[in-house]
């Protein structure tokens, strides 16, 4: 049996691959997706009036661009584009609402960006009302917002809490001054401490912190300090994302000196260090890059198999359909993915004309649905039981002999166990789980030929 060291395992598994926030992933979706197919998908979604929705709003504005960023952003030191954005947001939400006359209530709302708190308090209130007047939130809804502590006014968190936001995620990335300089962010410990303290005092039920490993200038010592310092803040959840270095696609990343980037081996050591420290503090691994305190509902959902994964991340409760508002936002409605135009002006033009601003889309087959469920099951709970597959999808182990043959080649490396009752990913294999779900992706070869993915380690 092979007995590979960590560097050898990294060499084996470190290659480009999808993150599987959905399945299939956008590279195989159809460009210029027809309006009539989107409307048909909405009709299918509207036919389930008893089921709640998930809502996502993309607020794309930032005052400056961090060099590591891979998000769809509009860098605007001037506030003037906000009014046109809000008018277009209202037009788009109205459009969705007209096509969902019988299905309006939401169990989940997430604001991402960009920097949602780029908007001042009056505009934050206006954006919230635009959405919730048409799609009311259920009393138990999870209402979350992403916040950059470097651009936060004293009145913004209180306003968000008053509106009903109950979870907040603060981007920290790294606390080391040298790393902060290399990623052109400039976030201080005092800013992070003050925002977390304010959120706690305001009564946010969940305070989450996001870190990034693999950033330029990171070392084991500096990242250890970042982890230990952030844990002093006792976040409910922590996300440890791998830095996606894609200079061929993201021109602004070319400003990062390549000799400051950690080697693949160091990247894995940074992730393993984070896992070791977080688990030693009692945090439970959720999927491959999230952690939650054991008393958090997300940790409990992992234990009893209720974990949900969608384009907003891991969740305890989510609607069976998701609506995405704003440029580049992704919707998942009526078994179809719909992605909006990424360019702000194009998105505004389309929705103001009364049309869905479709960039691309994909109608999922039953096989797509099944494989998505399997992939997310493995990535969320690190196991797959054939009895559950049979009960839910009407097929068993023999339906996946090709995938099992591929996984059998990995079993000697100690990353998974193939048993009669199912697939079980080991503690070592959890760090390579993106690779271990590849065999269930029927589109991977076609995607790999035309797409640049981030590296899996």
Same domain (yes/no): 267, 306: yes
User: Is the domain of 252 the same as that of 399?
Assistant: no
Domain of residue 403, CATH code: 1.10.10.920
Q: Are residues 199 and 279 in the same domain?
A: yes
Looking at the structure, do residues 7 and 45 belong to the same domain, yes or no?
Answer: no
State residue 452's pLDDT score: 66
Q: At which of 289, 323, 357 does a domain end? A: 323
Is residue 63, in this structure, part of any structural domain at all?
Answer: yes
Same-domain pairing of 298 and 377: no
Q: Do 429 and 416 meet the contact criterion of CB atoms below 8 Å apart?
A: yes
Residue at a domain's end among 259, 293, 323: 323
**Structural domain contains residue 8:** yes
Residue 205, domain member (yes or no):
yes
pLDDT by 10s per residue, the chain, length 457: 566 776 677 778 878 788 888 999 988 999 989 999 999 999 999 999 999 999 999 999 998 888 888 888 999 889 999 999 999 999 999 999 999 999 999 999 999 999 999 999 999 999 999 999 999 999 999 999 999 999 899 999 999 999 999 999 999 999 999 999 999 998 999 999 999 999 999 999 999 999 999 999 999 999 999 999 999 999 999 999 889 888 888 888 888 999 999 998 898 889 889 989 999 999 998 876 889 999 999 988 888 778 787 888 888 888 899 999 999 999 999 999 999 999 999 999 999 999 999 999 999 999 999 999 999 999 888 899 999 999 999 999 999 999 999 999 999 999 999 999 999 999 888 878 889 999 999 999 877 766 667 666 6
Q: Contact at 8 Å (CB) between 339 and 325?
A: no
Predicted pLDDT at 164: 97
Question: Both 380 and 280 in a single domain?
Answer: no
- Give how many domains the chain has, as a whole number: 2
Residue 356, domain member (yes or no): no
Give pLDDT, residue 454. Answer: 67
Q: Are residue 310 and residue 382 in the same domain, yes or no?
A: no
Residues 125, 234 within the same domain: yes
Whether 209 is in a domain gets the answer yes
Among 260, 288, 323, the domain-final residue is 323
Write the CA distances from 159 to 104, 130, 280, 442, integer angstroms. Answer: 24, 16, 36, 46
What's the pLDDT tens digit per position in 11-56? 788 787 888 889 999 889 999 899 999 999 999 999 999 999 999 9
Q: Is residue 198 part of a domain?
A: yes
Which residue range forms the structural domain that includes residue 284?
15-323
Which CATH number belongs to the domain containing residue 192 in this structure? Answer: 3.80.30.20
Residue 225 zone, left/alpha/beta (φ > 0; ψ -120 to 50; rest): alpha
Cβ 403 vs Cβ 397: under 8 Å: no
pLDDT in tens, 50-103: 999 999 999 999 988 888 888 889 998 899 999 999 999 999 999 999 999 999
Cα separation, 231 vs 238, in Å, equals 9
397 burial type by CB count under 10 A (0-12 exposed, 13-18 middle, 19+ buried)? middle
Question: Can you tell me the distance from the alpha carbon of 397 to that of 404, in angstroms, rounded to the nearest whole number?
Answer: 9
Q: Does 336 map to a domain?
A: no
Residue 90 sits in the same domain as residue 210: yes
Q: Quick check: is 48 in a domain?
A: yes
Residues 150 and 286 in one domain: yes
Residues 104 and 153 in one domain: yes
Are both 28 and 7 inside the same structural domain? Answer: no
């Amino acid at each position: 049996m092979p007995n590979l060291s960590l560097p050898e395992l990294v060499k084996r598994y470190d290659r480009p691959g999808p993150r599987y926030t959905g399945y299939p992933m956008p590279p195989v979706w159809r460009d210029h997706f027809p309006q009539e197919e989107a409307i048909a998908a909405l009709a299918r979604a509207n036919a389930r009036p008893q089921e709640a929705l998930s809502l996502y709003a993309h607020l794309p504005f930032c005052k400056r661009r961090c060099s590591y960023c891979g998000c769809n952003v509009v860098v605007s030191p001037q506030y003037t584009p906000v009014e046109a954005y809000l008018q277009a947001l209202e037009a788009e939400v109205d459009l969705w609402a007209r096509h969902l006359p019988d299905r309006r209530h939401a169990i989940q709302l997430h604001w991402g960006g960009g920097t949602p708190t780029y908007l001042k308090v009056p505009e934050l209130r206006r954006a919230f009302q635009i959405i919730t007047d048409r799609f009311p939130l259920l009393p138990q809804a999870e209402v979350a917002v992403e916040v950059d502590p470097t651009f936060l006014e004293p009145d913004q968190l209180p306003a968000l809490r008053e509106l009903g936001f109950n979870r907040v995620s603060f981007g920290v990335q790294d606390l080391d001054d040298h790393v902060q300089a290399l990623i052109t962010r400039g976030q201080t410990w005092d800013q992070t401490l003050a925002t977390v303290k304010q959120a706690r005092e305001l009564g946010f039920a969940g305070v989450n912190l996001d870190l990034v490993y693999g950033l330029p200038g990171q070392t084991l010592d500096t990242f250890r300090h970042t982890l230990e310092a952030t844990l002093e803040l006792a976040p409910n959840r922590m996300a440890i994302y791998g830095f996606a270095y894609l200079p061929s696609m993201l021109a602004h990343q070319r400003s990062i000196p390549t000799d400051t980037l950690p080697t693949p081996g160091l990247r894995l050591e940074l992730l393993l260090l984070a896992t070791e420290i977080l688990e030693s503090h009692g945090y439970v691994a959720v999927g491959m890059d999230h952690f939650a305190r054991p008393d958090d509902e997300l940790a409990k959902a992992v234990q009893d198999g209720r974990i949900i994964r969608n384009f907003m991340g891991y969740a305890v409760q989510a609607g069976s359909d998701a609506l995405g508002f704003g440029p580049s936002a992704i919707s998942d409605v009526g078994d179809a993915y719909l992605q909006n135009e990424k360019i702000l002006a194009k998105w505004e033009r389309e929705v103001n004309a009364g049309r869905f601003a479709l960039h691309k889309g994909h109608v999922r087959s039953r096989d797509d649905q099944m494989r998505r469920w399997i992939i997310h099951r493995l990535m969320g709970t690190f196991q797959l039981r054939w009895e559950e597959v049979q009960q839910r999808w009407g097929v068993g182990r023999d339906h996946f002999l090709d995938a099992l043959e591929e996984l059998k080649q990995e079993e000697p490396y100690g990353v998974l166990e193939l048993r009669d009752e199912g697939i079980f990913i080991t503690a070592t294999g959890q760090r390579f789980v993106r690779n271990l779900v590849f065999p269930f992706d029927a589109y991977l070869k076609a995607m790999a030929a035309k797409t640049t993915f981030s590296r899996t380690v």
